[in-house]
Amino acid sequence: MSKSVGFFSQPFTPFVLGLLCMGFLLLSFLVWTLNVTPDDYFSDVNDPNAAITCKVNHASVTSDDLENGSWMNKVITTSNNCSVFLTEVQIKELSNALVNNFPDKKDLIQLGLITLLTEQTLQKVKGNMEVYNPDKIKGILDWLRTLNVVAKLDPDNEIIYLSVTDYWFNFISGKLTEYQKINPDIRYYFKFRYLVQHCNEALYFVNVEETKYEKVKKNLLANHWVHLVQASWSDAKAWQKGVFLFVFLFTMFTYLFTIISFVNKTTLK
């Protein structure tokens, strides 16, 4: 009798094979869990902030311009190639200058600035937002973070900062939801997870869809065993439950047979 045949005839063989199968499954799960996503960390090198040198012209704005809304085109002309995301300093200076010149039109000026920094700004950058570009989105989120901080320090213009951040957070969270539906793989990338976390922390939640396998993985990592078993059992079909019971009973019988055989062999000795 060959050694291989002798091995399979041993009473401990089912137990060893069971351990090997369990080890293989655990190794596969470990590789799945520790799956390394592409090295897509944000660069530490930032592009020069063109908004700092952006020329914002408010000297030629008249009262009629404020009434008909044409003043926004005078502040940042369409031919201006600088960044349309005005810095907090520019927003404050522009608002204060216009309010000083037209003190009776403060509400109209603030409403116009909100429109300028939301709808009109979106129209200028919308083309760049059609395709997932995490670096550009991060730049906008950094801008919003700054505006949130300044809102607490500049109560006169607080409504402008808060309205702008609310508008852009809603837009970005919606776009992130769209991006992951188009390309589900980005859900595993660092940049995407960073952007989603940033929006969620600001209470603008991104609806990231999870597959059944991802839900199982999440529950395993969180040790939610009871929930995992209940959810899996309730979602399983009748034939799936039958297969599970058969495999479970067969495995228990194999282990029981191995233990009995080992005990009998030890007793006979």
Tokens of 12: 């401990």
pLDDT at 111 over 60: yes
* Range in 100-109, 172-181, 232-241 the model is least confident about: 232-241
With a pLDDT cut of 70, the percent of the chain lying above it is 61
Measure the CA angle with vertex 167, ends 165 and 173; round to 5°.
95
Q: What is the pTM of this model?
A: 0.63
Residue carrying structure tokens 């660069």: 43
Q: How confident is the model at residue 218 (pLDDT cuts 50, 70, 90)?
A: low
Give pLDDT, residue 52: 40
Q: What is the C-alpha separation between 84 and 97, in angstroms, rounded? A: 19
Distance (Å, whole) CA 106 – CA 94: 12
The pLDDT tens digits for 33-67 are 444 444 455 654 444 344 444 567 777 777 887 78
The alpha carbons of the chain give a radius of gyration, in whole angstroms, of: 31
User: Cβ-count burial of 80 within 10 angstroms (0-12 exposed, 13-18 middle, 19+ buried)?
Assistant: middle
Comparing 131-140, 202-211, 217-226, which segment has the lowest mean pLDDT?
217-226
107-111, 134-138, 231-235: which range is least confident on average?
A: 231-235
What pLDDT is stored for residue 144 in this prediction?
94
d(CA 158, CA 148): 9
Q: Is the pLDDT of residue 82 over 80?
A: no
Mean pLDDT, residues 67-88: 70
